[in-house]
């Protein structure tokens, strides 16, 4: 995928040579290479490819495949649809997914720090936006009152 | 009052810097209107008919004299010399320039205030009642938990893009003055026989297009679980609340669709993973926050003040004000005073000028401990006024137009800004309020009528809480013109009820006459000192309808 940011050991960088190809279509010809497939398509052959979930998809369905699954992507059809944040929380905190968790779709600079807090570690920034510019959105703010995937202790336990 | 530490301070200043950058990018065309919209909403900024409106949070309705002076200065320097108190204990400025908003927010941050999440599809300002900490009927001060919730819900990354707005209120008194049945989550704090602090959790209440009273989802929740339980509710809502239709996106619709038992089961399952985890509140944190809400240094005053007694006896106008606007206090010799922002024609409900704000700040220091509250009825409360000072305060308040003796009376109207300002409104609210206030100018008559709440909303978003007014007025659009639908029988508090529509709607000019006929009906049927709501309950809607709809109205406007 193009326009991709990834966190590696806490440091964000632009990835120029990401091998993954995102397949949006639920049917039809499949391109060659490493694919990220929609859930129903991926379930037909779960051993081979990566998967992306829409906000309606149940994250629990991926549990049996954690050992072999190379990457999970969560789709934001609109940046104002917040379900992906809870899906990310569940994958990371409840189900223990430690592999790559990628945000795809309407992924914009001003939401990146929230996504990061909820456990995303790669971000396919919307194609018409600048990845360099989006990097500035990852840091967010220095104070988190509540808790999150990357900081499970609320501020009152750190204060 | 709660005082910011380094963390709290850093957060509000970083937020100002972040929004300053977002405003600059928007003005430079780097952010589209659509992309900027939720960013500005989550910083309290709406686009209204004529200008931007900035809604400043007054957490749980408490502010200091210094904070009030800052609001006064913002009204003077960035608005037209006034601000508007809302039904959710916030302050709105109606004439704001976008480019100046970061500077306004910075000025607020300097006095430990902000506009974060006063709008948008996220957890809004946490509200409680205006008499928290001083009410004679209070069980416990709800503000420490309100502040803990405020912090926890502020920029909580998972819950910033909920299906719809989310309002939480907390109350801990015999009388529910925080309207907890009308909130997405309502919390009632009480103690069990062993002194343990417990919470009753109400969920799925709300006004708006589909008014619903909340339902109890949990009884006896130990306070330590407050945050984990709210987190469970929010996660279930965030995942399953409807997003296809904004009018069906509030949690009340989800609760109704699933049924309270099924919804409670979902929440309980989610909560099993969270309880006893790091979100569990500690006594240390409770004490840290609660120590900011300790009672001030009350003097030991006699409960009976002779001079006060004399003033009452010789000045009926003062006595009337004391009857309506002064509330009992838990400390002997003290009272809480409600300053009415509803003088009638002189100014719309909830509006206060820079000069008035400065005066209130001064009085709060002169006659109290420099603390001020905003009531959800849009009035101002001075919580700690010695009885001996009431007469002096009343004289000063009258000079400033804040001494109207109408708290709880028909002219203490709750009204949203309505079609004069709001882009969502179907109809104007303020001229309706003022026309009714003009018709009921006779204070003796108003006092005889006793407690009657009249609430006006300019559209079904119900910011004026028309459903829970004894008399409710809702602005509706009929073929492009403004009409008003009347409901009767709403009430707030522990006996909350939603009003019922009495029939076809009226034009603006007819409304005062209709209200007068409703009041006349009440007077005709009233038994001795009966309250309006009780008469209505006893005789039903029919006698009112007969009076209101017998023939074509003879409009005297």
Q: What is the pLDDT of residue A45?
A: 85
Q: Which residues of A touch B162 (CB under 8 A)?
A: 82
For A63, A82, B55, B56, B525, the CA distances from B124, given in Å and listed in that order, are 35, 16, 11, 11, 43
Q: What is the pLDDT of residue A15?
A: 96
Residues B282 and B312 grouped into a single domain: no
Q: Which residues of A touch B161 (CB under 8 A)?
A: 79-82, 85, 111
Burial class (CB in 10 A: 0-12, 13-18, 19+), B289: buried
Q: In angstroms, rounded to a whole number, what is the distance separating the alpha carbons of residues B464 and B247?
A: 18
Burial B142-170, CB ≥16 within 10 A → b, else e: bbbbbbbbbbbbbbbbbbbbbbbbbbbbb
Question: Structural domain tally of chain B?
Answer: 4
Residues B148 and B278 grouped into a single domain: yes
Q: In angstroms, rounded to a whole number, what is the distance separating the alpha carbons of residues B365 and B375?
A: 19
B282 found inside a domain: yes
Q: B3-46 pLDDT, tens per residue?
A: 999 999 999 999 999 999 999 999 999 999 999 999 999 999 99
Q: In angstroms, rounded to a whole number, what is the distance separating the alpha carbons of residues B365 and B382?
A: 10
The pLDDT of residue B368 is above 90: yes
Q: B336-355 pLDDT, tens per residue?
A: 999 999 999 889 999 999 99
Residues B541 and B436 grouped into a single domain: yes
**Cβ separation A156–B148 shorter than 8 A:** yes
**Cβ separation A147–B154 shorter than 8 A:** no
- For chain B, the C-alpha Rg in angstroms (whole number) is 23
SS3 B50: coil
**Cβ separation A85–B158 shorter than 8 A:** yes
Residues B346 and B257 grouped into a single domain: no
Interface test with chain A among B20, B22, B156, B157, by most A beta carbons within 10 Å: B157
Burial A88-126, CB ≥16 within 10 A → b, else e: bbbbbbeeebeebbbbbbbbbbbbbbbbbbbbbbbbbbb
| Pairing of β B82-85 and β B91-96 | antiparallel
B407 found inside a domain: no
**Cβ separation B153–A157 shorter than 8 A:** no
Last residue in a domain, options B348, B372, B399: B399
Give percent of chain B with pLDDT exceeding 90: 90
The pLDDT of residue B124 is above 60: yes
Q: In angstroms, rounded to a whole number, what is the distance separating the alpha carbons of residues B287 and B281?
A: 11
Last residue in a domain, options B369, B399, B429: B399
The domains of chain A, with CATH numbers, are 4-157 (3.40.50)
Closest-CA residue of chain A to B122? A82
The pLDDT of residue B145 is above 90: yes
Cβ–Cβ < 8 Å for B238, A83: yes
Q: What is the pLDDT of residue B353?
A: 98
Give percent of chain B with pLDDT exceeding 70: 99
DSSP code, position B208: T
Residues B166 and B229 grouped into a single domain: yes
Beta-sheet strands, E only, within B294-366 = 326-328, 334-339, 351-353
B326 found inside a domain: yes
Give A5→chain B minimum CA distance, Å.
19
Cβ–Cβ < 8 Å for B318, B337: no
Interface test with chain B among A54, A78, A85, by most B beta carbons within 10 Å: A85
Tokens of B456: 């006006």
Cβ–Cβ < 8 Å for B222, B187: no
Residues B263 and B330 grouped into a single domain: no
Helix B226-240 and helix B260-274, axial crossing angle in degrees, nearest 10: 120
- CB of B4 within 8 Å of a chain A CB? The answer is no
Indicate which CATH number applies to the domain containing B220: 3.30.413.10
Q: In angstroms, rounded to a whole number, what is the distance separating the alpha carbons of residues A52 and A144?
A: 29
Tally the residues of chain A: 159
**Cβ separation A82–B121 shorter than 8 A:** yes
Backbone dihedral region for residue B546 (phi beyond 0: left; psi -120 to 50: alpha; all else: beta): alpha
Q: B79-117 pLDDT, tens per residue?
A: 999 999 998 889 999 999 999 999 999 999 999 999 999
Residue tagged 């005053």 (tokens): B301
Q: Looking at residues B251-264, what average pLDDT do you find?
A: 97
Q: What is the pLDDT of residue B500?
A: 96
Local confidence band at B552 (pLDDT 50, 70, 90 cut-offs)? low
Q: B218-243 pLDDT, tens per residue?
A: 999 999 999 999 999 999 999 999 99
Indicate which CATH number applies to the domain containing B52: 3.90.480.20
Residues B251 and B150 grouped into a single domain: yes
B194 found inside a domain: yes
Cross-strand partners of B215: B203
The pLDDT of residue B143 is above 90: yes
Q: What is the pLDDT of residue B551?
A: 62
B464 found inside a domain: yes
Q: What is the pLDDT of residue B200?
A: 98
Tokens of B301: 């005053």
* Of residues B145 and B175, more confidently modeled: B145
Q: Which residues of B touch A155 (CB under 8 A)?
A: 7, 151
Q: B472-509 pLDDT, tens per residue?
A: 999 999 988 999 999 999 998 878 899 999 999 999 99
Q: Which residues touch B313 (CB under 8 Å, ≥6 apart)?
A: B319
Tokens of B336: 């809480």
The closest CB to that of B11, out of A86, A143, A152, belongs to A143
DSSP code, position B262: H
DSSP code, position A92: I
Q: B266-309 pLDDT, tens per residue?
A: 999 999 999 999 999 999 999 999 999 999 999 999 988 899 99
- CB of A98 within 8 Å of a chain B CB? The answer is no
Q: In angstroms, rounded to a whole number, what is the distance separating the alpha carbons of residues B278 and B282?
A: 10
**Residues of chain A with confidence (pLDDT) below 50:** none
Residues B277 and B151 grouped into a single domain: yes
Q: In angstroms, rounded to a whole number, what is the distance separating the alpha carbons of residues B108 and B86?
A: 18
Residues B259 and B162 grouped into a single domain: yes
- CB of B286 within 8 Å of a chain A CB? The answer is no
Cβ–Cβ < 8 Å for A20, A50: yes
Closest-CA residue of chain B to A59? B239
Local confidence band at B555 (pLDDT 50, 70, 90 cut-offs)? low
Residues B395 and B505 grouped into a single domain: no
The pLDDT of residue B136 is above 60: yes
Q: What is the pLDDT of residue B556?
A: 54
Q: What is the pLDDT of residue B255?
A: 97
Residues B175 and B284 grouped into a single domain: yes
Q: In angstroms, rounded to a whole number, what is the distance separating the alpha carbons of residues B91 and B374?
A: 9
Residues B167 and B238 grouped into a single domain: yes
Q: What is the pLDDT of residue B284?
A: 97
The pLDDT of residue B549 is above 60: yes
B255 found inside a domain: yes
- Whole-prediction pTM: 0.94
Q: Which residues of B touch A56 (CB under 8 A)?
A: none
Per-chain mean pLDDT for chain B: 95
Backbone dihedral region for residue A120 (phi beyond 0: left; psi -120 to 50: alpha; all else: beta): beta
Q: Which of residues 35-94 of A touch B (CB under 8 A)?
A: 79-83, 85-87, 89, 94
Cβ–Cβ < 8 Å for B207, B200: no
Nearest in space to A39 (alpha carbons), one of A69, A19, A3: A69
Tokens of B108: 């607020």
Q: What is the pLDDT of residue B277?
A: 95
- CB of A143 within 8 Å of a chain B CB? The answer is yes
Q: Which residues of A touch B18 (CB under 8 A)?
A: 141
Q: Which of residues 205-264 of B touch A (CB under 8 A)?
A: 227, 235, 238-239, 243
Give the residue numbers spanning the domain of B383: 306-399
Burial B445-483, CB ≥16 within 10 A → b, else e: ebeebbbbbbbbbbbbbbbbbbbbbbbbbbbeeeeeebb
Q: B157-205 pLDDT, tens per residue?
A: 999 999 999 999 999 999 998 999 999 999 999 999 999 999 999 999 9
Q: In angstroms, rounded to a whole number, what is the distance separating the alpha carbons of residues B81 and A144?
A: 36
Residue B28's φ and ψ, nearest 5 degrees, are -85, 0
B523 found inside a domain: yes
SS3 B435: helix
- With vertex at residue B237, the alpha carbon angle to CA B231 and CA B239, rounded to the nearest 5 degrees, is 100
Local confidence band at B553 (pLDDT 50, 70, 90 cut-offs)? low
B27 found inside a domain: yes
Tokens of B39: 């960013």
């Amino acid at each position: 995928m193009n326009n991709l940011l990834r966190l590696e050991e806490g440091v964000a960088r632009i990835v120029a040579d990401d091998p993954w190809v995102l397949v949006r279509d639920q049917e039809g010809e499949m391109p060659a290479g490493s694919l990220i497939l929609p859930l129903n398509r991926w379930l037909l052959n779960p051993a081979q490819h990566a998967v992306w979930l829409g906000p309606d998809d149940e994250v629990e369905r991926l549990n049996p495949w954690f050992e072999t699954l190379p990457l999970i992507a969560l789709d934001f059809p609109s940046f104002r649809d917040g379900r992906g944040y809870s899906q990310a929380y569940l994958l990371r905190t409840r189900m223990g997914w430690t592999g790559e968790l990628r945000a795809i779709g309407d992924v914009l600079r001003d939401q990146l720090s929230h996504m990061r807090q909820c456990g995303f570690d790669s971000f396919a920034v919307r194609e018409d936006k600048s990845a360099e510019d989006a990097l500035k959105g990852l840091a967010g703010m220095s104070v988190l009152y509540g808790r999150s995937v990357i900081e499970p202790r609320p501020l009152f336990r750190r204060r | 009052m709660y005082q910011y530490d380094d963390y709290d301070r850093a957060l509000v200043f970083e937020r100002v810097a972040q929004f300053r950058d977002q405003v600059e990018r928007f003005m430079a065309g780097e952010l589209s209107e659509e992309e900027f919209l939720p960013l500005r909403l989550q910083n309290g900024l709406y686009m209204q008919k004529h200008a931007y409106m900035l809604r400043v949070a007054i957490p749980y309705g408490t502010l200091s004299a210094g904070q009030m002076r800052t609001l006064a200065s913002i009204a003077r320097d960035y608005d037209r010399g006034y601000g508007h108190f809302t039904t959710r204990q916030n302050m709105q400025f109606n004439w704001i320039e976008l480019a100046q908003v970061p500077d306004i927010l910075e000025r607020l941050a300097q006095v430990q205030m902000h506009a974060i999440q006063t709008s948008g599809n996220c957890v809004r300002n946490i509200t409680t009642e205006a008499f928290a900490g001083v009410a004679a009927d209070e069980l416990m001060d709800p503000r420490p938990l309100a502040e803990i919730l405020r912090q926890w819900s502020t920029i909580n990354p998972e819950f910033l893009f909920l299906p719809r707005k989310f309002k939480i209120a907390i109350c801990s008194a015999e009388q529910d003055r925080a309207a907890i049945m009308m909130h997405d989550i309502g919390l009632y704090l009480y103690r069990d026989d062993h002194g343990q602090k417990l919470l009753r959790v109400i969920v799925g209440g709300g006004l708006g297009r589909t008014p619903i009273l909340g339902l109890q989802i949990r009884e006896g929740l130990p306070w330590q679980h407050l945050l984990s339980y709210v987190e469970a509710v929010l996660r279930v809502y965030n995942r399953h609340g409807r997003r296809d239709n904004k009018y069906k996106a509030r949690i009340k619709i989800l609760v109704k669709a699933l049924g309270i038992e099924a919804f409670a089961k979902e929440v309980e399952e989610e909560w099993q993973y969270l309880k006893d985890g790091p979100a569990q509140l500690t006594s240390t944190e409770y004490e840290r926050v609660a120590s900011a809400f300790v009672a001030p240094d009350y003097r030991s005053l006699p409960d009976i003040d002779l001079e006060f007694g004399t003033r009452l006896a010789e000045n009926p106008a003062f006595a009337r004000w004391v009857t309506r606007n002064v509330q009992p206090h838990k400390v002997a010799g003290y009272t809480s005073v409600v300053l009415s922002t509803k003088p009638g024609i002189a100014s719309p409900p909830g509006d206060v000028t820079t000069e008035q704000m400065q005066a209130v700040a001064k009085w709060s220091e002169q006659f109290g401990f420099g603390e001020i509250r905003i009531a959800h009825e849009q009035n101002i409360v001075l919580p700690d006024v010695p009885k001996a000072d009431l007469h002096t305060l009343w004289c000063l308040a009258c000079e400033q137009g804040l001494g109207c003796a109408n708290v709880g009376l028909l002219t203490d109207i709750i009204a949203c800004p309505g079609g004069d300002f709001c882009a969502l409104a179907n109809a104007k609210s303020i001229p309706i309020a003022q026309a009714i206030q003009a018709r009921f100018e006779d204070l003796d008559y108003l006092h005889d009528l006793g407690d009657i709440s009249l609430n006006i909303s300019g559209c079904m978003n119900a910011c004026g809480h028309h459903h829970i007014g004894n008399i409710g007025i809702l602005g509706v659009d009929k073929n492009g013109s403004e009409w008003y639908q009347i409901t009767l029988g709403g009430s707030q508090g522990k006996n909350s009820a939603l009003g019922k529509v009495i029939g076809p709607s009226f034009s603006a000019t007819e409304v005062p006459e209709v209200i007068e006929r409703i009041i006349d009906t009440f007077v005709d049927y009233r038994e001795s000192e009966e309250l309006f709501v009780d008469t209505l309950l006893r005789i039903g809607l029919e006698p009112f309808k007969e009076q209101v709809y017998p023939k074509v109205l003879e409009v005297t406007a």
